[in-house]
């Protein structure tokens, strides 16, 4: 029996030799590919930057500044990553003093083959990081984000199906906003919205005419003022929204499972929104997910900021309503709200007396 040991060892060595050789060859090939993926971006960097600048300047009626452009084949592998750093989009004419967008980075995940072989970058995802957005609508309804150039020749050629493809092609599957401050001012509607620390993600196949959109939104502060009345003041916001999007002659948004939270107040919403070219048509209903008075009271800024966590708050609420109809320059949708507070009471730890028998029927 001992005589078989040298024979077994010899067969094992002969068997393992080609395997070890194959492993070494595979390691060399993979290392070579990795080296190529690391080196290639340096050859394409200037080409990508020139392509980006050329496209944005030809497509946008605005002054666009870009500090640098980077390219990586590893960050979103197997997709290529195009990083556009130090981006500023500044208005012209009546908006020349306003910066629409100032971002540390815009990162695009693009099809790798389109980088290497095509003149068109196919964008599959994008991320906007550390940015400030200021969106304005003036009294004459001029908007500072309406900066896409109109080309009468392109409109004429559109009917002839002779439009030339641009340098970018959207085949979007997802997007992300990370640490964005947003200011929106609409003079005709006397509306001011200020959002700080906005983080938002969205996933869906935007190339389809019907698709499911999954979004998550968080904001450290949101202030909303309408006709001088602050409806939200430095309110923490969370929202998880699932919707079915239908793109045809209009865009129809059908809400599915969703959750909206303002401070401690949580809402569920159902229904849909039909977005036409000139107006929006609402058919929405909403209802509070919690029935305690504490959650509703968290929306009152002075109360929520002042020892709210330590307060003993009791009582029940009913909160529901609807938004239905057309929103346009001449019409407003109908709005219904049912809000009741039953046997509410507030006891702060530093005060000897409590506030009790709080009732409301609105």
H helix runs in 60-150, sequence order: 112-117
Per-residue pLDDT at 276? 83
Tell me which H or E stretch contains 303.
helix 301-305
Per-residue pLDDT at 206? 82
Reported pTM: 0.74
How many C-beta neighbours within 10 Å does residue 115 have? 23
pLDDT in tens, the chain (362 residues): 444 444 444 444 444 445 444 444 444 444 444 444 444 455 556 666 677 777 777 788 888 888 888 877 666 666 777 888 999 999 888 998 899 999 999 998 877 665 555 556 678 888 999 999 999 999 998 999 998 887 633 444 443 333 344 555 667 888 999 999 999 999 998 999 999 999 999 998 888 888 899 999 999 999 999 888 888 888 999 999 999 999 877 889 999 888 999 988 899 999 999 988 788 899 999 998 888 888 888 887 766 666 677 778 888 888 899 999 998 878 889 999 998 888 888 887 777 777 778 888 87
Rounded-to-10 torsion of CA 48, 54, 60, 62: 100
How many C-beta neighbours within 10 Å does residue 265 have? 21
* DSSP class of 329: S
Q: Give the whole-angstrom CA distance, residue 256 versus residue 53.
A: 40
Per-residue pLDDT at 166? 52
What is the full DSSP assignment across 164-226? PP-SEEEEEEEEEEEEEEEEEEETTTTEEEEEEEEEEEEE--TTSSEEEEEEEEEEEEEEEEE
Q: Give the whole-angstrom CA distance, residue 197 versus residue 25.
A: 50
Question: Which residues, at least 6 apart from 169, have a Cβ–Cβ distance to it below 8 Å?
Answer: 114, 120, 121, 122, 123
Q: How far is CA 208 from the centre of its chain?
A: 19
Per-residue pLDDT at 157? 44
């Amino acid at each position: 029996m001992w005589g078989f040991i040298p024979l077994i060892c010899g067969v094992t060595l002969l068997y393992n030799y080609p395997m070890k050789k194959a492993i070494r060859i595979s390691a060399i090939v993979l290392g070579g590919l990795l080296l190529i993926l690391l080196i290639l971006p340096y050859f394409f960097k200037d080409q990508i930057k020139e392509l980006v600048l050329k496209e944005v300047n030809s497509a946008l009626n605005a002054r666009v500044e870009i500090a640098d452009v980077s390219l990586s084949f590893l960050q979103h592998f197997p997709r290529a990553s195009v990083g556009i750093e130090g981006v500023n989009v500044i208005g012209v004419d009546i908006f020349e003093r306003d910066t629409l967008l100032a971002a540390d980075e815009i990162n695009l995940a693009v099809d790798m083959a389109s980088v290497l072989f095509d003149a068109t970058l196919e964008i599959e995802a994008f991320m906007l990081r550390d940015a400030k957005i200021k969106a304005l609508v003036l009294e004459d309804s001029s908007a500072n984000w309406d900066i896409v150039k109109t080309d009468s020749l392109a409109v004429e050629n559109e009917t002839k199906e002779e439009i030339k493809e641009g340098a970018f092609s959207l085949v979007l599957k997802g997007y992300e906003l990370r640490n964005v401050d947003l200011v929106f001012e609409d003079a005709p509607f006397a509306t001011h919205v200020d959002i700080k620390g906005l983080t938002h993600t969205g996933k869906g196949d935007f190339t389809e005419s019907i698709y499911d959109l999954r979004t998550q939104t968080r904001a450290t502060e949101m202030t909303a003022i309408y006709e001088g009345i602050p409806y939200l003041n430095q309110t923490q916001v969370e929202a998880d929204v699932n919707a079915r999007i239908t793109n045809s002659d209009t865009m129809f948004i059908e809400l599915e499972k969703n959750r909206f939270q303002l401070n401690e107040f949580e809402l569920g919403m159902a229904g849909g929104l039909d977005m036409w070219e000139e107006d929006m048509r609402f058919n929405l209903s909403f209802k509070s997910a919690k029935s305690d008075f504490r959650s509703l009271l968290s929306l009152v800024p002075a109360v929520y900021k002042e020892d709210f966590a330590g307060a003993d708050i009791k009582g029940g609420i009913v909160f529901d309503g609807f938004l239905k109809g057309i929103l346009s320059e001449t019409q407003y949708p109908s709005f219904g709200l049912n809000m009741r507070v039953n046997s509410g009471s507030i006891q702060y730890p530093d005060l000897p007396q409590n506030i009790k028998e709080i009732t409301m029927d609105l």
